Amino acid sequence: MDQWQPLTVPVQANPVGNVEERRLAAPGLAISTVIFALKPSETSGRPTLWLPLVRRIREPFKGQWALPGGPLRHDESLPEAASRNLLDTTGLAPRYLEQLYAFGGLHRSPAQRVVSIVYWALVQPEEAELPGEEENVRWFRADKVTDLAFDHQEIVDYALWRLRNKMEYASIAFHFLGEYFTLAQLREVYEAVLDKPLDPANFRRHVTNAVGIEPSDRYLQGGKHRPPRLYRYTGPAPSSTPRTAPNTARNPS
């Protein structure tokens, strides 16, 4: 019941000629990443979730959009491989990076079998500008991506679910923002990701009571009205839970 049938992720899928070769070849191993950032909506201007995709320049799925990714090199760890590949393909260097899931279904890639270890990442608006060429790397609204190569659509859906889920119990919203932010900005992050309005008064209490967030003595000037105080994320309390484990995430049901 809770078991699950994965699908197929590739990247650098060097097609192996025939069926017999496929039977014998060891499964390929690739690293891919789903990157999230908040950017203003084209219509409302309010912040919404976006993610960068790269256009495939070879078969299979040539011309279609796919997650950035590539093979795992011999001298890099899994997160190192994810970071390095992100920089190569999109020019992005996310501060937050976490393993999402390993996808290893039999027919994810048409030619050689590929197992993909997928990461997910959050980037701040400043670092979210794509230095790469506009042709083959482009931002898409996270809830509107479609026709992705391989099983990347399901991977994106899962990453989205994980982001929303984790947002509700962990302190990750800060990674979408710069060092200093107002509580209204932080609330907009939650509203954009969870896609529902939040009560400003209750949100304030909730977040100021939480650990790891400190008021600064600075205020955001230049607004139309009363300047709001700027806050900083100082991380969990210095002597917080010394986790012994790799990952840190909940799962439902």
DSSP 4: -
Residue 229 lies near DNA (rule: CB under 7 A): yes
Q: Is 15 exposed, middle or buried (0-12, 13-18, 19+ CB in 10 A)?
A: middle
Residue 171 lies near a copy of itself (rule: CB under 8 A): yes
Site for a copy of itself in 107-146 (CB under 8 A): 113, 115, 117
- Tell which one of 25, 130, 184, 249 touches DNA (CB under 7 A): 184
Q: Shortest CA distance to 72 belongs to which of 89, 91, 85?
A: 85
Closer residue to a copy of itself in complex, CB, 113/137: 113
Partner whose binding site includes residue 23, from DNA, a copy of itself, none (CB under 5 to 8 Å by kind): a copy of itself
- Tell which one of 23, 74, 144, 225 touches DNA (CB under 7 A): 225
Partner whose binding site includes residue 96, from DNA, a copy of itself, none (CB under 5 to 8 Å by kind): a copy of itself
- Tell which one of 6, 125, 178, 228 touches a copy of itself (CB under 8 A): 6
Smallest gap from Cβ 211 to DNA, in A, equals: 12
- Order the strands of the 229-233 sheet from edge to edge: 180-181, 229-233, 213-219
Partner whose binding site includes residue 202, from DNA, a copy of itself, none (CB under 5 to 8 Å by kind): DNA
- Tell which one of 5, 202, 209, 239 touches a copy of itself (CB under 8 A): 5
Length of the chain (residues): 253
Q: Shortest CA distance to 27 belongs to which of 40, 42, 16, 43?
A: 16
Partner whose binding site includes residue 146, from DNA, a copy of itself, none (CB under 5 to 8 Å by kind): none
Smallest gap from Cβ 12 to a copy of itself, in A, equals: 12
**3-state per-residue secondary structure call for 89-145:** HHCCCCCEEEEEEEECCCCCCCCCCEEEEEEEEECCCHHHCCCCCCCCEEEEECCCC
Q: Say if CB 155 and CB 115 are below 8 A apart.
A: no
